[in-house]
Amino acid sequence: NVDKSGINKDLICIEYPGIVKNVDKMLETLGGLQEVSHVISKKNRRLELRFRPDDIYCKPACGDRVKTNALLLKVKVLRKSNESNSDERQVKGIEIVGRIQTLFKFKSKCDFQYLPMNMDENGKMRSIVHTLLPARLDEDNLKKWLEEPAEYFLPPAAFSRVDTQTMNTYMYRRDKQDKDDLDPDPLIGRTRKRRSGSRNFC
């Protein structure tokens, strides 16, 4: 028997591009539960996912809203305990948790990541976030941070112009050297296009 008590409950599905081991950390990468609710309430908003939420320079991966018709099921399965190596299972119950009509899919490419790091005198990479952003905004700490030298770190707002993969972006261009090596046939041809729109009459 199928429990249909939750068939009228509307749910939102997010296809998270990763293995979720901690729900709180997963929500933190999405901006928090309040940010997720705000994006859901706006029809044209994309859901942003930052794999390093503490890094202000982290480029987000964007999830697009997709319409769908699906059901979320809760299935209880029993496994026979007397045969530990047996794969035989028995379905005890099926419950419809809710219906899903809105889905967020992360199909677009994430922008290039440029980490705020620099190489020290020993050849090791170190983070320079503390020189770019103040740890606290109190008067003494802020004054000290303003007086210290800062690293040169000015990445662009976006590295890639598009976040969708296209197959028609490559076009073969022959090098100028290859063009000069070719001996064209001694043929007389037109050197310019016909000007059909601007005729001259005498």
pLDDT grade for 48, boundaries at 50, 70 and 90: very high
- Residue 17 CA, distance from chain mean position: 9
User: Out of 41-55, 64-78, 128-142, which region has the weakest mean confidence (pLDDT)?
Assistant: 128-142
151-201 residue pLDDT tens: 778 777 777 777 766 665 556 666 666 555 555 555 555 555 555 555 555
64 Cβ contact partners less than 8 Å away, ≥ 6 residues apart: 46, 104, 105, 106, 107, 108
- Residue 80 CA, distance from chain mean position: 43
Residue whose entry in the numeric block shows the structure tokens 């983070």: 127
Has residue 117 got a pLDDT over 70?
Answer: yes
Has residue 95 got a pLDDT over 70?
Answer: yes
The mean pLDDT of 71-93, rounded to a whole number, is 79
Q: Are 98 and 12 in contact (CB under 8 A)?
A: no
Report domain 2-79+88-105's class.
Answer: alpha beta
Task: Give me the pLDDT at residue 82, please.
Answer: 65
Record the pTM: 0.62
For residues 23 and 28, give the distance between their C-alpha atoms in angstroms, rounded to a whole number: 9
Q: CATH 3.30.200.160 in the chain: give the residue spans.
A: 2-79+88-105
For residues 12 and 114, give the distance between their C-alpha atoms in angstroms, rounded to a whole number: 32
